[in-house]
Amino acid sequence: MILPYISKKSKEIYELLIADEGLHRDCPGNTIKAFENAVEMGLAIKIDVRYLKDNSIVCFHDKYMFNKLGIPGKIENCNFDIINKYMIEKTKNYVPTLEQAISVIDGRVPIILDVKTNINDKFLKKLENVLLNYSGTVYFQTAKFKNYIKLKNIFGKKVFLSTNILRKRFDYCKDKDYKNMPTKLFNVSDLPSLTDILIGLESEDKLKNLIKKMWYASNKSNSRIKDDHWLNTHLKAHRMIVDPNICENSVEAIKYIAKLNQNTQDESKRYAAEIDVTIRLEKNRFEFIVYHDDKYSDKLGQPKSCANKVKIESASQLKEILEIANGIVPLIFDLKFSVDKRFISRKNIARIVAYFDKYVSRFLTYDYIQPNIRCKKYDTYVVMSPDPRTLIEYAKINSEIIRLQVGNSIDSLREFSKRVPIWINFILFYKSNPDGIVYNVSPTVYALAKFNIIIGHRIYLYAPRTKEEGEPYLDFCDGFIGEGKFFND
């Protein structure tokens, strides 16, 4: 017989939804910003605390500082004035003291202090002084039994041993639970109206279709890619091919597109440029170049573009393209970093993605002025990749950037599965948590796109050369990344 678990401690804590290290959707954990986010959402907060040698208590999880602050050594061997010189993960957030944290939270939500440090009398005295005049609810937990006994002697039933396997678990909200959550709370005016939801419903629709359409409309309204975003209002040129007489992925191609954009204020006639970005090593340094290697797409049975190619030795450097596009042409970067087997490890991809993001921000210095919207710098480009690991790392480096996962038609997957099982592709596909999906135009793509439509992903198709090629897909596609005659038909 299994007896029901009855807690002898504070029962209220088990009813709380607790933000682990705060709500760090758009910032590192254990920061003032993360705590403010959690308070705004009405979530309790678990804060990791460590004790420094200058008698400060700080909000910090790791034992060592290198991963978060980029400096060697144990954090407990430092003084706060040294730590306070470094930003966490190179963001604008600093390591806060416990005093700063509770001052911001101000009793509005309960907090759970997870004590990571080895407790001594000085720490306990400091902790009591910090919490002396705090009116909010505070719980404590620790993984170390000695710490648990010392805390329990002072704070009684509000102390928990996290390594106690018989104890009921807390209801934690961790970063994997809210990756899709918007960085700011939406206003009521942002919610879809009944008219928006019912549009497209037909009287002869069966109940199953009605539910599907309403589900799609509701999910789509939460997408970061809004209807008025340039991804949905502008023409999108695959490999910058508007004029097929100009080489793909070339400086001449981006100059041509920039000139077209400068000569019109009509959004429907403005262009965004999709460009293929890869890397090569030059004198032991990364160099980003704009080039597409056809041998990989040939293996997947995908057609070549309608324009000529430049040789890889003559490929344009990315900075040349960025300097011309800056503030004039929004960009879609197709990142091909993992194509070269030398850079295929996760560690190398993470390093390259971080360098790429800094590199781009150095050259894209102007806002893009959409006719009716002023896009901030981080919204002047989006990234896409066939490799989910690239997008996973990009989300860690810069979560503000819109990410598109490049998928394949069933025909391509069959070819791909000769080397990698299809189920592995699908598992990785959704691990990247994309804002939209990009498929190649194929009669077999509908079966894959149908599911993504229902769950609210934006769907884009590449690369039709004529309007006729795209027509069969208009009912489930948000836009095309076309080329050549597609724009002139």
* Banded pLDDT at 189 (limits 50, 70, 90): very low
Burial class (CB in 10 A: 0-12, 13-18, 19+), 9: middle
Mean pLDDT of 9-15: 76
Rounded CA separation 191/456 (Å): 14
Percent of the chain with pLDDT over 70: 73
The residue that leads in pLDDT, 480 or 339, is 480
Rounded CA separation 485/203 (Å): 38
The residue that leads in pLDDT, 282 or 225, is 225
Q: How many CB atoms lie within 10 A of CB 62?
A: 15
Mean pLDDT of 183-201: 44
Per residue in 118-140, pLDDT tens? Answer: 999 999 999 999 999 899 999 99
Tokens of 238: 């695959």
Q: Which H or E element spans position 416?
A: helix 410-416
Rounded CA separation 453/122 (Å): 58
Q: Which of these, 106, 82, 77, lies nearest to 95 by C-alpha position?
A: 82
How many residues would you count in the chain? 489
Q: Is the pLDDT of residue 417 over 50?
A: no
* Banded pLDDT at 481 (limits 50, 70, 90): very high
Burial class (CB in 10 A: 0-12, 13-18, 19+), 474: exposed
Rounded CA separation 256/254 (Å): 5
Measure Cα distances from 335 to 157, 249, 273, 358 in Å.
53, 13, 14, 15
Q: Which of these, 234, 244, 280, 240, lies nearest to 380 by C-alpha position?
A: 234
- In the DSSP assignment, the letter for residue 315 is P
Q: Which H or E element spans position 48?
A: strand 44-51
Predicted pLDDT at 96: 95
* Banded pLDDT at 241 (limits 50, 70, 90): very high
pTM of the model: 0.56
Predicted pLDDT at 51: 95
Classified as helix, coil or strand, 236 is strand
Predicted pLDDT at 173: 78
Predicted pLDDT at 201: 45
Q: Give me the domains of the chain, ranges plus CATH numbers.
A: 11-177 (3.20.20.190), 220-487 (3.20.20.190)
* Banded pLDDT at 344 (limits 50, 70, 90): low
Predicted pLDDT at 472: 79
Tokens of 176: 């994997």
Per residue in 41-82, pLDDT tens? Answer: 888 999 999 999 999 999 999 988 888 898 888 899 999 999
- Is residue 385 left, alpha or beta, with left meaning phi > 0 and alpha meaning psi from -120 to 50? beta
HSE-CB at 220 with a 13 A cutoff on CA atoms is 21
HSE-CB at 349 with a 13 A cutoff on CA atoms is 21
